[in-house]
Structure 1
Amino acid sequence: MNAVVDKPVDGDGRTRVRLAELMALRARVAKAALPRLESRAMRAGQQSSRLYGRGMDYAESRVYQPGDDVRRLDWRLTARSGRLHTKLFQEEREGQLLILLDAHESMRFGTRVRLKSVQAARAAALAAWYAVRAGERVGLMSFGNGHSMLRPQAGTRGALAVCGALADWDANYPALPGEPLSDVILRAARLMHGANRVLLISDGLSCDEAARGRLLDLSHKAGIRVLVVADALELGLPPAGRYPMEHDGTRREVALFGERQRREFQQALGAGQTRLNAMAQALALPHVTIDTAADPLDAVISLLAPGVRR
């Protein structure tokens, strides 16, 4: 006799993750024109993935690290950026993408269309569908809501598992006290399960100075991409006016009229995304910022497409 399990109530896609929407994103990725996508899944269960190997095909460039072969220096990018860069080449093997998803309380904020947490989940689902279309395995690790981990899996089952975890974690796992990004990166380095690419999705408020060194260390093992999710009020000067704010059932109103007052408000609210973007820039990690009203598809493709370099 089978047990009867109540189907969980799906979110509204604005304040809570909507599983049906995440699953439907598969069709959008399937129709998208993906630049230079080279899937070998049909041929050998493998694809050309960007590894720090010494194959014949150029993959990308990153900031020079001690011990790199000087014969692999990218002189054009070095001249353009003013910093030494090394060329990386790709090998034949099955790729694995690990998505690091920020689930801190700060992500449950939004003034346009949806909360940052919902937008981050949409971006993560698109990344999962993109990865499996390219023949990669995909895994998911959240932070700020406990140590939730989904090991990399292949094919449609892998992407569906990511979508299910995103909806489940959003509905059932409460946000916990702040977890420094440096601790998250250290844990990810131990639990990567062979992932050769990492996509960090965050609003940056957990970004601490110690994360710089650990991101640099992790970049020796995997290609790191950063997707910053921000609200419109965190990205630009808010118009003068009164702004109702609600947190844990308590509703307050913030009056913003003077230009200095509005600028200080925006800088304080957007400190996380500014800090994370600056760190990614300093480490030459490809990074994109999207707001809560944007379509994340182009941003995800621009970060995960083969040969991307920023």
Structure 2
Amino acid sequence: MNDAIAPSLSMLLALRGEASVRRPPKRAREGASGAALSPLRGRGMEYAESREYAIGDDARHMDWRVTARSGRPHTKLFQPERERATWIVADRAPALYFGTRVRYKSVQAARLGASAAWSALNDGDRIGAVCGSASEPPRMPASGMRGVLPVLEALVRWYSQADQAHSFERTLLQLRRMARPGSRIVVLADPASVVAIDVAQWRALAKTGALHVLMPSDAFEQSPPRRRLRFLSADMRSEVDLGGADAYRRWQACFAGTLQQALTVIRDAGGEAQAVATEASASEWLTGFRAAQAEVA
């Protein structure tokens, strides 16, 4: 199939080199003989063990089960997660399966997701993916190529054709149940899908981890010619006359206006948002992704 209309696995595999350019330094990690476990719990921390309570320990981390069993107060100890999870979240709205510059927006979405997966591999993260479909279970985060390849294969399948039964809201709710604090979350979405989600849900995701929302953008949608346009799909023909000022304003509100609204929603919620043209490199956006990685390391 034409790579401009549907992504191929070979295309996504080839993006590894592009995503590896200017690879950031590895995060420092404590070994087995490193610093002592912390009694404090923060982002990216997981339970390690319990010990007897000592003066100065945070009472919020009391281990009440061990305390009840032993008869002596115990507190929980936590340690940094050895591997952070990077989640690729796929919107499959029909509006993504369109394009006039180089490739469909859906293909660019797959390319963006692949570049995120390769970058996460370089950073030593576990990689997972979710699309919220009843017939497509999530790809649970895994390390190395065991994590990357299932995600790439899923992106090829998910972005080869639209899923009319797909629910973007269900996708995000599913992700919130699975993502642990300190995760990186890369959302591939159409702007209209973004603004349809309650801002409280975006705020919750931004609190869970570093939130990046990437919206493939087609130049024709953002700035169409001012004339009568004819559209042809598999089962219908339609015409839109953009010669008049009112019609052109409505078009701009529908596409450019919705994109700006989506960018504002995500940024106000505490996440990073970016429109990526269909003809753009799939890795240009990684600068912000890597900056966030350094910030939470």
Place the TM-score, normalised by the shorter chain, in its bin: 0.7 to 0.9
Other-structure match for 2:18: 28
Q: Which sections of structure 1, spanning at least 5 residues, go unmatched? A: 1-10, 45-50, 55-89
Per-residue CA distance 1:202-233 (angstroms, 9 max, x = gap): 11222356531112123332221111222113
**Aligned-partner residue type, residue 227 of structure 1:** L
Match of 1:131 among 108, 120, 127: 120
Match of 2:286 among 284, 296, 300: 300
Q: Does 1:263 align with 2:252?
A: no
Alpha-carbon distance change, 151 to 215 in structure 1, aligned in 2, over 3 angstroms? same
When Rg is computed on C-alpha atoms for both structures, the one with the higher figure is 2
Give the share of equivalent positions with the same residue, in percent. Answer: 27
Contact 1:97 1:195 in 2 (8 A): no
Q: Which sections of structure 2, spanning at least 5 residues, go unmatched? A: 33-41, 46-78
C-alpha distance in 2, partners of 1:174/1:268? 20
What is the root-mean-square deviation of aligned Cα atoms in Å? 2.9
Other-structure match for 1:52: 43
Per-residue CA distance 1:232-279 (angstroms, 9 max, x = gap): 1333x3222333322333233323223442232122134542332121
Contact 2:91 2:168 in 1 (8 A): no
User: What is the CA-CA distance between 1:147 and the residue it aligns to?
Assistant: 4.8
Other-structure match for 1:166: 155
Per-residue CA distance 1:71-95 (angstroms, 9 max, x = gap): xxxxxxxxxxxxxxxxxxx956311
Contact 1:178 1:206 in 2 (8 A): no
Q: Which moved more, 1:287-296 or 1:146-155?
A: 146-155
Alpha-carbon distance change, 168 to 244 in structure 1, aligned in 2, over 3 angstroms? same
Other-structure match for 1:206: 193
Match of 2:217 among 230, 235, 245: 230
What are the equivalent positions in structure 2 for 1:102-121 lying under 5 Å apart?
102-121=91-110
Contact 1:122 1:296 in 2 (8 A): yes
- Figure out how many residues of one structure are paired with residues of the other and give that number: 252
Per-residue CA distance 1:71-125 (angstroms, 9 max, x = gap): xxxxxxxxxxxxxxxxxxx956311100111111111111211111100000000
What are the equivalent positions in structure 2 for 1:125-204 lying under 5 Å apart?
125-143=114-132, 147-171=136-160, 174-177=162-165, 179-181=167-169, 183-192=170-179, 196-204=183-191
User: What is the CA-CA distance between 1:175 and the residue it aligns to?
Assistant: 1.2
C-alpha distance in 1, partners of 2:43/2:284? 26
Q: Normalising by structure 1, what TM-score?
A: 0.71
Q: Normalising by structure 2, what TM-score?
A: 0.74
